[in-house]
A and B are shown apart, each in its own frame.
Chain A
Amino acid sequence: MSNKLLLPNRYKTIGWYIFIPATILGIILLFTDFESFPINAKVFAVFNEELLGKGGSFNIIQTNITPTVVGILFIMGAMLVSFSREKTEDEFIARLRQSSLLWAVFVNYVLLLIAFAFIYGMAFLDVMIYNMFTILIIFIIRFNYILYRNSKEMPNEKYNQSAASY
């Protein structure tokens, strides 16, 4: 499988440094109705629609940009973690990546189906917020968990044991 879309391995570490703090901030935001650490700033909005009152498009608006910043950092971090090469990105890792992506999309939509059937009203808005990030989250968990589990199953090899046989 060609993996021209993947970044070099070092971006995975950078990704973790962005992804983990962004996850923590994101969780805090979710539990505080997106009102903690507000940063008010003027931003350019391609499209803006207020619940009550006027909206507009292609204008500068004043708003709390904390959810925007945290969301962008989260997605960037998660993408770096997901789409960077492993140290040795070989065919086995490529297959694991493929199967984890399939798994993530599948689990994501099963969860969404359940949410569609059983969650109504404003609560569904929360489902939509979570759902923006679940594919990446499920992928990262599944891919890295299997890598970790496989590396734990490897027997401990003493390197010099075979060096003698040369």
Chain B
Amino acid sequence: MKNTIKVQRAIKGLTQEELAQKTSVSRQTINAMEANKYVPSTVLALKIAKVFNIPVEELFILEKND
């Protein structure tokens, strides 16, 4: 699975720290997700989508081998 968090963040002009605060997680978590090292829980995925005001499917995209 890949995600577009970094791109969405750039569009909104948010830093990792700001996105972390808005979703009440640590900056480490945002960074790990952007580096594809961590797949978030459904709750966190929905929270991030809400911050960017887009559907989750636009934020997280399944890949062939998933």
* Whole-angstrom distance between the Cβ of A38 and the nearest chain B Cβ: 45
Contact with B along A153-166 (1 / 0, CB 8 A): 11101010110111
A-B pair number, CB within 8 angstroms: 53
- B31 in the interface (beta carbon within 8 A): yes
Which B residues between 33 and 63 are near A, CB-CB below 8 angstroms?
Answer: 35, 38, 40-41, 44
| Bound-state Cα–Cα, A92 to B26, Å | 8
Our pick among A93, A154, A161, A164 for the contact of B31 (Cβ within 8 Å) is A154
Question: What residues of chain B lie closer than 8 Å to A88, measured between beta carbons?
Answer: 20, 24-26
Contact with B along A19-61 (1 / 0, CB 8 A): 0000000000000000000000000000000000000000000
- Give the nearest-CB partner of A92 in chain B: B29
B residues near A (Cβ < 8 Å) are: 12-18, 20, 24-29, 31-32, 35, 38, 40-41, 44
Q: How many residues of A contact B (CB 8 A)?
A: 21
- Give the nearest-CB partner of A93 in chain B: B26
* Whole-angstrom distance between the Cβ of A133 and the nearest chain B Cβ: 28
Is B18 a contact of A95 with CB atoms below 8 Å?
no
* Whole-angstrom distance between the Cβ of B13 and the nearest chain A Cβ: 3
| Bound-state Cα–Cα, A164 to B13, Å | 9
- Give the nearest-CB partner of A1 in chain B: B41
Question: What residues of chain B lie closer than 8 Å to A4, measured between beta carbons?
Answer: none
Our pick among B17, B18, B25, B35 for the contact of A91 (Cβ within 8 Å) is B25
Is B27 a contact of A91 with CB atoms below 8 Å?
no
* Whole-angstrom distance between the Cβ of B53 and the nearest chain A Cβ: 15
Ordered by A's residue number, 26 sampled pairs between the chains whose C-beta atoms are within 8 Å are: A88-B25, A90-B25, A90-B26, A91-B40, A91-B41, A91-B44, A92-B25, A92-B26, A92-B28, A92-B32, A92-B40, A93-B28, A150-B28, A150-B31, A150-B32, A151-B28, A153-B31, A153-B35, A154-B16, A154-B28, A155-B31, A157-B15, A157-B16, A159-B15, A162-B14, A166-B13
